[in-house]
Structure 1
Amino acid sequence: MKRKLLIGLVVVAIASCSFTAGAAGWWDRPKPPRPGTVVPALPAGQANPMIANGVGIGANTPIYKTSGLGPAALNTGAPAGSETSYVDTVVFPGGTLPAGVTITEAQGINVLRRIGENLKAAGLSYSDVYTMRVFLQNPTGAPAADFAGWNRAYRQYFANTDLTTGKYIPVPLGTAPPTKPFVVNKSRPSRFALEIENLPVTGWLVEVEVDAAYPKH
């Protein structure tokens, strides 16, 4: 009789544990990404979110990580080491910025073009980027970093399509009317952006590093 009672208690205990686990709803959790895939968690109810809430990376996904990249000193008409020396003269001929384009915005565009070159050399593209880290320094005389200018630059290359229609969303350059972004790209990486006191190169206002996943073949 005692043995039967003990067995009954064990069965009840197991059933109780199973019920407790079930109450936690572990089987209701989203399934992890399939091997070799990357799945962003996008904000619900938004047709054009700027960044993902997070990103899931499936097992055995080959990834690539850039170093921190800053703008290239392409504006040789400006003093070496000045903030304006890091204006990309391919985008802004002569280093002249259109109305409303801030120096941080211009440097952000420069950096993101360098990111694109780095990715291309590794067999990747902007659309393969799944996370990004951004460091911003205050422009000379400014009380804070120019996050708005950076975000305009970012939208030229990332998160510029409507998730509902698939069509690109026009992006402003400075205060000009919004037009087609430089690179149409639905990718919305997870991202953080920090204001810091000093970047490692004199004149830099923006430094960026990204992680990208190789497309599954």
Structure 2
Amino acid sequence: MRKRALIAGVAAVAISFSAGAGTAAGWWDKPKPPRPGTVAPVLPAGQANPMIASGVGIGANTPIYKTSGLGPSALNTGAPAGSEASYVDTVVFPGGTLPAGVTITEAQGINVLRRIGENLQAQGLSYADVYTMRVFLQNPAGAATADFAGWNRAYRQYFANTDLTTGNYVPVPLGTAAPAKPFVVNKARPSRFALEIENLPVNGWLVEVEVDAAYPAQR
């Protein structure tokens, strides 16, 4: 696959957020490695709700889990097989109908993130344990570029949706609807990159994601 030169949010280095309450300055604010068996994100200073970590430190002897690249499942049997619409999750969007302003990339992103949640759960993990993420986006049919805005709305439904100073969730829009409670309230902010690429390996896919997660230290 040939990567194009569009990059959204590259963060260096590869969550167990059990180290205590966070602040807008980040959980890991000292220039030393995290404790063995833990990971610690470095967050941008002065932001109450940053989207991604600047990087993540990984302590010695930290057990980790890496998923393969995951795409959306073909759950919308009412759409032609292999079409972009066939990868709309009909549990979230009954009948495959998208509400106002919800883009096909946003819908596929939600599908992918739900599959990632299932993958993690099978290993005794959760979204909160994710510390790094790699995202590959393809242009929707007829579009000149990938839909980074739609992907980011999907992402915020599952990650980086709490105010670090108050601990409260931050409402997230679904398409053009008024912001509402996220699907999964989660303060985890993995390091992340998102790339627009020429083609994904499955016809109809617009989103492919892989994540790394750390088993919580108490285990």
After TM superposition, the score normalised by the length of structure 1 is 0.87
Counterparts of 2:53 and 2:79, CA distance in 1 = 37
Q: 1:149: Cα distance to partner? A: 0.1
User: What SS does the corresponding residue of 2:32 show, helix, strand or coil?
Assistant: coil
Match status 1:50 vs 2:59: no
Alignment of 1:85-96 (within 5 A): 85-96=86-97
Equivalent in the alignment of 1:183: 184
TM-score, length basis structure 2: 0.86
Secondary structure, in 3 states, of the residue corresponding to 1:160?
coil
Counterpart residue number, 2:161: 160
**Structure 2 CA distance, aligned partners of 1:31 and 1:56?**
9
Give secondary structure in 2 for the equivalent of 1:112.
Answer: helix
Looking at CA atoms only, which structure, 1 or 2, has the larger radius of gyration? 1
- Distance in 2, Cα, partners of 1:122 & 1:137: 29
In the aligned structure 2, how far is the partner of 1:153 from the partner of 1:37? 27
Tell me the residue number matched to 1:77. 78
Matched residue type, 2:85? T
The one-letter amino acid of 2:108's match is Q
Amino acid in structure 2 at the alignment position of 1:118: N
Which of 1 and 2 has higher RCO (CA within 8 Å, sep 6+)?
2
Q: CA RMSD in A?
A: 0.5
Tell me how far apart the structure 2 counterparts of residues 112 and 172 of structure 1 sit (CA, whole Å).
16
What runs of 5+ residues in structure 2 fail to find an aligned partner? Answer: 1-29
Amino acid at match of 2:55: G
Identity %: 89
For 1:116 and 1:124, how far apart are their aligned partners in 2? 8
Gaps of 5+ in 1: 1-28
Q: Distance in 2 between matches of 1:39 and 1:162?
A: 18
